Structure 1
Amino acid sequence: MIGPELAPEAVLRRLELVVLRRLDGLLQGDHLGLLPGPGTERAEGRAYVPGDDVRAMDWNLTARSLQPHVRETDADRELETWTLVDATASMDFGTGRVEKRDLAVAAVAAVGFLTERAGNRLGAQILHGSGPRLVPARTGRGPLLTLLRTLLGLPRSAPGGQPALADGLERLRRTARRRGLAVVVSDFLDPPETWRRPLALLARRHQVLAVEVVDPRELTLPDVGLLTVTDPETGRRAEIPTASPRLRARYAEEAAAQRAAIAEGIRAAGASRLTLRTDGDWLRDIVHHVAAHRRLAATGTPA
């Protein structure tokens, strides 16, 4: 649907049609539909449950009821969303329906079209091998389409000298000064210990949604004999004897451990995690993610 065989304008038309007609109908609600969470207007109080932010404690209500209570908030009418889009060399890979970079554009399109309302603003920090790029936060459909065109028009990152995800997170934290929604779209292949703290610092001020982009060949190896692979980050080539069951099993174990470490790093940072696969249905995955978070929000259960 968003593959390289289509011209950028055709890709934009398809993305807009899919998001506005399919996702918007399935996810009707307020502008925080992708990640329900707090706003700034004080609303009703409710009983405290483990996991609630202690800064939301309503001490007057607690004293009157003799039980801990928190004060909920209603969502702002205006939302500022910032995206950090990983466009480094490792994202220029895909063995499924699309490449990882195509899936990243689809994720940004979903965020943009679903939050594009009167007064809502969307901006982006783009992590690319040629250097960081800033797209200022603006309102309206025009700036959103400009951002998507920018992402679609990015050249492939040359091997070597790729920027670190941690640097992009720190740059986003300095840029996004107003409380809002921060969406980080990446494969998170940098060691988690390098980006966990910057992600946690970002989550202290913003709601953070980490969109993890995965290709099936990063999880398992097929039995195709001698396979020549190239590391997109460094350009180094290697030959892998995929006919070896022991090698394929070890690869799968290491890949599972890597993904578990990524998931734990995102959780420890206080961010919400959404995994999109190049061989999957990204529309379905987004819908399932939103539905799950809305159920948790309705019951007062922390995500």
Structure 2
Amino acid sequence: MTATTSPNRVPQGTTGHYTAQPRGHWKIDDIPYHRIDRAAIEGNEDLFYLLMSASFVETGSDTYAANLGEHYAQYPQISDWLVQEWEHEELQHGASLRRYVETVWPSFPWQQAYDSFFAEYSQLCTVEELFSDRRLEMVARCVVETGTTAYYHTLRELSHEPVLTQLLGHIRNDEVGHFKHFLSYFKTLQQQAPIGRARIAGALYSRLKELRESDSDVALRHVFAHKGALFCTPERRFEDVAQRIYHLISTGLPADMAVRMLLKPLLLPPRLEGYLRGPISKLACKVLAY
């Protein structure tokens, strides 16, 4: 089931028309796009693919927000936060990234490529893909936010362009905040009707494996298909580009930070959590390795 457009939701395929964020939250106008050092970024093929892909996925986030809002309709506090805050922050990520990539690579047909991406992506975003158990879906959300936090942290480390570094820092911090919200909601649901750690661990592992077959795979293919003369090497195949990109990300991920976040939904005693951190870190790196 795809998202429907409401008066407060950004229509699919557009960006920039979201409601105001809470006071103190960064805004697109805070980013000095006019100061971008294009010489430091425009020749970076890896960041071209990574940033374009991220701009697509974030721009389509209203679909997931609508599905999650429906999934948690019986919990108004959760559904209200999803639609009124989480969705708008994700869409701001998409709008800010789009503005950045269109400034650096203006010849890329962003809207055309995005429309092609969304036609496929929207078919994958259904309520049926969510865990029917709402506690386990919160666990899955924690995994996703761990992945996005690690992803933007890694991109920020790869950046040598000051404006991009600033923007990616804002987005990474937002993703950390989203993780904390999902973890808090999980704890509330867990207190109401506890489930065992074995089921929680199963949900963590299941969603972690799916990160390898994530939305970014779809986005990357559509970026490659529409890049035109940008980074044009006739003999290069998409598979080669994807393998290099995934290897770059998987080897640059902050494993210790990610594992600390992944262990939180298990609600382990601190001593046991510390004991498990090493083995889980090795498992996570093995799962994410390319």
TM-score by length of 1: 0.31
Q: Give the strand-richer structure, 1 or 2.
A: 1
Q: Give the helix-richer structure, 1 or 2.
A: 2
Q: Please say which structure displays the higher CA radius of gyration.
A: 1
Higher relative contact order (CA 8 A, sep 6+): 2
